């Protein structure tokens, strides 16, 4: 047996030497072994070794190690432009606009005229006369190729904007006979997904934007509130800008956003007026219509409120730019065939008192007039409610107050509310529209009326276009206010400019 084993090993060594000397035969790899064939009794001296593949080694108990195959990944950017255009042809307009902001290449591809021409033809391509398919394809290709890049994109977006504008403008044509304003203003604002946001610019040049917390709609105005826990100090704020934000869908799914400047407030130096307070906050009024809640004992901001009148609110919220507000077109002066010595006549007033969450009073008054001899001190007064006419006195439901709320605290400020006023001229067109916060002040004059026994309050507001003066009486037994006197005065300069008169 020892001789047999020695012969096998000798033949194995001789086979290896022959392989090395020849140089053409493959060597045994790390996973290969050489096996000698069984010894034959007739040819025991010539043994040729044979290379056999070895079995794969086992890793662990049940898994077998395998060499990983080389995998190649194909990215969409590696595709040629022609293939990408074929893919983008199945994408809608909103997705194309989003893909155009990925990188420079996709921006160029998205502006391709063939994509937007196909979308444009799909929406507005129906014509009365249509040529054959070959002629239409040739004409379409020629017209598309001749246009500069982005032409059909701009044409498509302009057409969509005009169609959307015509739709909501047609909804605003219906005018409410009670307020004299479009009756579907709230529905249009909600359908356009319009919200309002404020941008605060501090004295270091840093800008912070806050979205609205909630908005409450009333008959002729909307109250918008903002609350946050990261307000800057009031003394560090330079300016505040109010923007209307129009989206193409809800906030969570919106793809495009358009901002329109509604109002701009200068808070440097805080040239406002405190109109109310409670144990925690003071309310600061900054015209037009802005309320800043300031914590008592420190000049830090607690909340923001603003009241916006419905007159041209849709246009102001979506048709302006981020830096320039919407400017209404100049309307021709209506023809007045009445003798100017007679004065003003046929005016209508709608007025409402409300807070940020509820309405307290609403009134509609017609056939208001003012004779020429009653014009004094540059103002034309229209007496709406007289003290001696009890049939005109209007009750106000409950107390007059304004609730406020932050992320942590909440409260109610007494004797403070918001007034929304709409004055219509003799043609029943809005002439003076204002929505502003006001406060009730105790009257210094004692009441001489025997019909109401209670405390007298005065509410006043004035700007460059007009003034409002109201007198209210608080009846303790009934627990409510009564509006016993109301005078609306228009600036003579505004009337002369509008009607071409010389009052």
Residue 128, in any domain of the structure: no
Q: What is the pLDDT along the chain (503 residues), one digit of tens a residue?
A: 555 656 767 777 787 777 777 665 444 444 444 444 454 444 444 444 444 444 544 444 444 444 444 445 667 778 888 888 898 889 888 888 888 888 888 888 988 888 888 888 888 775 444 554 544 554 555 566 678 888 888 888 888 888 888 999 999 999 999 999 999 999 999 999 999 999 999 989 999 999 999 999 999 999 999 999 889 888 899 999 999 999 876 655 555 688 999 999 988 766 788 999 999 999 999 999 999 999 998 889 999 999 999 999 999 999 999 999 999 887 776 666 556 667 788 899 999 999 999 999 999 999 999 988 888 889 999 999 998 888 899 999 889 999 999 999 999 999 999 999 999 998 899 999 999 999 999 987 766 566 778 889 999 999 999 999 999 999 988 889 999 999 999 999 998 888 877 77
Residue 312 Cα to chain centre, angstroms: 17
Which strands form 430-439's sheet, in the order they lie side by side? Answer: 359-370, 344-354, 416-424, 430-439
What is the rounded distance in angstroms from the CA atom of residue 467 to the CA atom of residue 472?
A: 17
Q: Same domain for 368 and 272?
A: no
What is the rounded distance in angstroms from the CA atom of residue 237 to the CA atom of residue 260?
A: 21
Range of the domain at 452: 347-499
Angle at 202 between CA 200 and CA 204, to 5 degrees: 145
Which residue, 319, 337, 357, sits at the end of a domain?
319
Q: Same domain for 371 and 301?
A: no
Residue 100, in any domain of the structure: yes
Q: Compute φ and ψ for 167, nearest 5 degrees.
A: -65, -50
Residue 332, in any domain of the structure: no
Q: Same domain for 292 and 416?
A: no
Cβ-in-10-Å burial (0-12, 13-18, 19+) of 492 comes to: middle
Cα distances from 270 to residues 233, 237, 243, 275, 464, in angstroms, run 12, 9, 20, 14, 20
Q: Same domain for 371 and 471?
A: yes
When divided into structural domains, the chain yields a total of 3
The number of C-alpha atoms within 13 Å of 55 and in the hemisphere containing its C-beta is 4
What is the rounded distance in angstroms from the CA atom of residue 307 to the CA atom of residue 364?
A: 20
Residue 126, in any domain of the structure: no
């Amino acid at each position: 047996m020892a001789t047999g084993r020695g012969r096998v090993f000798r033949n194995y060594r001789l086979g290896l030497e022959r392989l090395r000397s020849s140089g053409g035969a493959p060597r045994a790899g790390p996973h290969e072994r050489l096996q000698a064939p069984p010894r034959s009794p007739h040819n025991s001296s010539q043994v040729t070794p044979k290379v056999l593949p070895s079995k794969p080694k086992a890793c662990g108990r049940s898994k077998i190690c395998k060499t990983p195959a080389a995998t190649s990944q194909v990215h969409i950017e590696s595709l040629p432009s022609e293939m990408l255009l074929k893919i983008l042809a199945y994408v809608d307009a909103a997705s194309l606009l989003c893909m155009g902001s990925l990188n420079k290449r996709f921006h160029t591809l998205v502006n391709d005229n063939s994509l937007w021409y196909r979308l444009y033809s799909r929406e507005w391509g129906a014509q009365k006369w249509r040529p054959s398919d070959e002629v239409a394809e040739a004409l379409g290709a020629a017209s598309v190729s001749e246009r500069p890049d982005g032409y059909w994109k701009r044409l498509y977006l302009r057409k969509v904007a005009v169609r959307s504008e015509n739709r909501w403008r047609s909804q605003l044509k219906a005018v409410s006979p009670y307020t004299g304003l479009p009756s579907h203003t709230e529905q249009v604002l909600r359908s356009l997904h319009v919200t309002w946001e404020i941008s605060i610019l501090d004295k270091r040049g840093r800008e912070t934007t806050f979205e609205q917390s909630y908005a409450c709609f009333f008959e002729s105005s909307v109250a918008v509130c903002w609350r946050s826990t990261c307000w800057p100090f009031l003394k560090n704020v330079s300016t505040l800008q109010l923007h209307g934000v129009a989206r193409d869908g809800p906030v969570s799914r919106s793809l495009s956003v358009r901002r329109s400047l509604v109002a701009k407030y200068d808070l440097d130096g805080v040239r406002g007026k405190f109109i109310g307070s409670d144990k925690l906050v003071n309310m600061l009024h900054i015209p037009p219509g802005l309320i800043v809640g300031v914590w008592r004992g420190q000049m830090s901001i607690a909340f923001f409120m603003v009241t916006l009148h419905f007159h041209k609110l849709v246009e102001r919220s979506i048709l302006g730019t981020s830096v320039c507000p919407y400017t209404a077109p100049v309307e021709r002066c209506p023809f007045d065939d009445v003798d100017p010595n007679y004065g003003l006549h046929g005016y209508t007033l709608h007025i409402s008192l409300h807070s940020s969450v509820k309405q307290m009073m609403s009134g509609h008054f017609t056939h208001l007039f003012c004779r020429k001899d009653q014009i004094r001190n540059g103002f034309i007064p229209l007496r709406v409610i007289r003290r001696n006419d009890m049939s005109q006195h209007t009750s106000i439901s409950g107390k007059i107050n304004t609730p406020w709320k932050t992320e942590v605290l909440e409260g109610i400020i007494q004797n403070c509310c918001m007034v929304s006023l709409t004055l219509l001229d003799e043609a029943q067109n809005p002439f003076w529209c204002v929505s502003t916060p006001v406060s009730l002040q105790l009257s210094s004059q004692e009441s001489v009326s025997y019909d109401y026994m209670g405390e007298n309050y005065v509410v006043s507001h004035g700007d460059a276009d007009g003034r409002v003066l109201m007198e209210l009486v608080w009846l303790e037994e009934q627990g409510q206010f009564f509006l016993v006197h109301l005078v609306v005065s228009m600036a003579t300069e505004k009337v002369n400019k509008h009607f071409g008169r010389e009052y």
